[in-house]
Structure 1
Amino acid sequence: MPFHVIVGAGATALATAKLLAEKGDRVRLVSRRGTGAGHELVEPVALDATDAEALAELCQGAETVFNCAMAAYHTWPQALPPLFGAILAAAERSGADYVMLGNLYGYGPVDGPVTEDLPLLATGPKGLTRAQMWQDALESHTAGRVRVTEVRAGQFLGAGAFSSFTFTIQPRVLAGQLALTPAALDTRTGFTAIEDAARALVTLAGDERAFGRPWHAPVTNATAREVATVLAEVADAPAPRLETLTDRDIALLSLTSPLWAEFEETAHMSHHTFVVDSSRIETEFGLKATPLEEVLRSGIAAG
């Protein structure tokens, strides 16, 4: 029976574990809390994944190590290098393939469609960190120590998703209230369904063609207003009322939570057109974005 290790217990990690278990594979799901996925083939393990020695032991015999781990948003530059370094080292020592869940931050501001062939030119701390984590993994792949690939997802939607949209817009629209968001409302950007990201991770892990390069998860390019409008329609909620927070608003909110200050670095992904091209994964593997109506409906049903 194939065996895999998933590090992380967020929505995409849980969806990935479920997909693997449903096809009969055994999964070890590693997180600080030891969160489970509700399937007999998924074994939850409580572990601090920065403990490279202990993690390497848990990964012995695994075909794939999936890195779906995440740290608090404002701590990425400090927290991700030791965390991702330990996961990469565990994959190397176990002989498993290494599949990373990434995002689009590493590209920085882009003119024109965002493709996997673009250089990683981010200048902000979170984008620089994500770019470096991929470069470190790719160097290990090039040196022959491990086979590596990365799925780069857009802004998450769907059951369990946490993103700017699901944090600042979705609950307010569902409640029929004014939604205040740091995002611009009428510029297009890429959205990825949790289930689509999980499907991409599982598909790439099982195909020789995937390794040694990154892939964009299936995306739907839309504006925040368009997504909010579809959300209201499928929820039978009032038409959405949306406003973009001013810089002063965000500065004041940052006094209560460091999360708000972090949105400034990625403003180029909402205040300017940031259209993501995911045609490569569709052409090579037949993976397409789930329609927005279906994604948002599933997110509502999941609570």
Structure 2
Amino acid sequence: MPAASELHVVLGGGGAIGGSVVRELVSRGLRVRAVNRSGRVPALRGVEVHQGDITSTVGAKTACEGADVVYHCATPAYDRWTQEFPRMTDAVRKGAAASGAKLVFADNLYMYGPVGMPMTEDMPYAARNPKGRVRAEMAEALLAAHRSGELRVAIGRASDYYGPGGVNTIVGAAVFGAALRGKVARWVGPLDQPHSFSYLPDIARGLVTLGGDARADGQAWHLPAAEPLTGEQFLDLVFAELGRPGRSASVGRLMQRAIGLVNPTVRALGETWYQRDRPFVTDASKFVNTFGPSGTTSHPDAIAATLDWYRAAATP
């Protein structure tokens, strides 16, 4: 268990995952510095706010100064991953190492490429698309830095997320925001394929567990999540929580391509369409067997909390 006197630095502290990590750390009574470029982070008592640019080594070292644990939750824009993400992560690695801190990297599942079974951490990095290769290369570089003794590293991987603060996600505004306003909830991909979805507070608990336990060091871990759901099941839960019938539509491959002509973020989804048109399920048994049951949030409870956040966010 981390000591309350330790300094925990959250990079990307104003984002969906980073903000959730900040709130989780604060709930445990830990010292927290939240870092992002704008300086806008969760307004929580006792959180030190640092406005800085971590894409340079100098900026990352300044942001990480004095840290015992650094949580790398920052990401470039989705359509800029291949150009900007490796350089950012390299700077973060050097910044955390200069502080003597342990680095916990908030990762995803892109590096495995198309799979035909639930994903486990021992699967090869088989992705051939640019975003998947970038994710694989960053993970490999960080774990190599751990093996060399440069710094301690743990990697936590989650699937598509949703939850309070989760806007820039396929199950964000296009689903929750639209359904709440009585608009058509648009689902990316077929509605009948099982998919793992990670709730933001569950991701945060998992990452903080990795940050405080030496058994996590030098490895990648799939973070626990509730059971996989199809798009139809997920939307049914959203409409059930709203207490009224809803309208939904599937965004198929042709529509994705058409929208992508004018929207670079939607265009980039084409690289990973295999995550939409077949089962995309993660296995977190390694994490549970090592650290114990994590108490993941049920989808009905998580969806209710997410809708509450969207309601509050829409209130003037």
Q: Decide: shared fold, TM above 0.5.
A: yes
How far residue 45 of structure 1 moved from its aligned partner, in angstroms, is 1.1
* Partner residue in 1 for 2:314: none
Secondary structure at 1:186 match in 2: coil
* Partner residue in 2 for 1:55: 60
Matches within 5 A, 1:1-80: 1-8=5-12, 9-80=14-85
TM-score normalized by structure 2? 0.91
The answer to whether 1:292 aligns with 2:299 is: yes
Amino acid aligned to 2:194? R
How far residue 111 of structure 1 moved from its aligned partner, in angstroms, is 1.5
Query: Number of paired residues?
Result: 302
How far residue 240 of structure 1 moved from its aligned partner, in angstroms, is 4.3
Given that 2:54 and 2:63 are in contact with CA atoms closer than 8 Å, whether structure 1 keeps it comes out as no
* Partner residue in 2 for 1:230: 237
Given that 1:175 and 1:237 are in contact with CA atoms closer than 8 Å, whether structure 2 keeps it comes out as no
TM-score normalized by structure 1? 0.95
| Deviations 1:162-197 (CA, angstroms, capped at 9, x unpaired) | 311224333333333333333111111110000000
Given that 2:35 and 2:49 are in contact with CA atoms closer than 8 Å, whether structure 1 keeps it comes out as yes
Secondary structure at 1:57 match in 2: helix
Secondary structure at 1:74 match in 2: helix
Question: Partners in 2 of 1:166 and 1:215 — Cα distance?
Answer: 25
* Partner residue in 1 for 2:261: 255
Decide whether aligned partners of structure 1 residues 180 and 37 sit closer, same or farther in structure 2, where only a CA change above 3 A counts.
Answer: closer
- Of 141, 149, 170, which residue of structure 2 is paired with 1:164? 170
Secondary structure at 2:196 match in 1: strand
| Deviations 1:190-232 (CA, angstroms, capped at 9, x unpaired) | 1000000000111111001111111111123111111111011
- Of 198, 205, 213, which residue of structure 2 is paired with 1:199? 205
The answer to whether 1:137 aligns with 2:145 is: no
* Partner residue in 2 for 1:212: 218
* Partner residue in 1 for 2:278: 272
- Of 74, 83, 88, which residue of structure 2 is paired with 1:83? 88
| The 10-residue stretch of structure 1 (238-247 or 9-18) with the greater mean CA deviation from structure 2 | 238-247
The answer to whether 1:154 aligns with 2:149 is: no
How far residue 242 of structure 1 moved from its aligned partner, in angstroms, is 2.5
| Deviations 1:72-120 (CA, angstroms, capped at 9, x unpaired) | 1111000101111110111111110000000011110111111111111
Question: Partners in 1 of 2:173 and 2:130 — Cα distance?
Answer: 22
The percentage of aligned residue pairs carrying the same residue is 31
Secondary structure at 1:259 match in 2: helix
| The 10-residue stretch of structure 1 (95-104 or 268-277) with the greater mean CA deviation from structure 2 | 268-277
Report the aligned-residue RMSD.
Answer: 1.5
| The 10-residue stretch of structure 1 (2-11 or 53-62) with the greater mean CA deviation from structure 2 | 53-62
Given that 1:52 and 1:86 are in contact with CA atoms closer than 8 Å, whether structure 2 keeps it comes out as yes
How far residue 244 of structure 1 moved from its aligned partner, in angstroms, is 3.1
How far residue 238 of structure 1 moved from its aligned partner, in angstroms, is 1.2
Question: Partners in 2 of 1:110 and 1:141 — Cα distance?
Answer: 28
Question: Partners in 2 of 1:51 and 1:246 — Cα distance?
Answer: 37
* Partner residue in 2 for 1:188: 194
Amino acid aligned to 2:73? C
Question: Partners in 2 of 1:257 and 1:225 — Cα distance?
Answer: 25
Task: Flag structure 2 segments of 5+ consecutive residues without an equivalent.
Answer: 311-316
Given that 1:158 and 1:299 are in contact with CA atoms closer than 8 Å, whether structure 2 keeps it comes out as yes
Given that 1:165 and 1:224 are in contact with CA atoms closer than 8 Å, whether structure 2 keeps it comes out as no
Amino acid aligned to 1:184? P
Amino acid aligned to 2:285? S
Secondary structure at 1:149 match in 2: strand
Question: Partners in 2 of 1:288 and 1:153 — Cα distance?
Answer: 16
How far residue 19 of structure 1 moved from its aligned partner, in angstroms, is 1.6
* Partner residue in 2 for 1:178: 184
Secondary structure at 1:222 match in 2: coil
How far residue 246 of structure 1 moved from its aligned partner, in angstroms, is 4.0
| Deviations 1:19-75 (CA, angstroms, capped at 9, x unpaired) | 212222211111110122222321111111112113213322211011000111111
Amino acid aligned to 1:124? N
Question: Partners in 1 of 2:102 and 2:46 — Cα distance?
Answer: 20
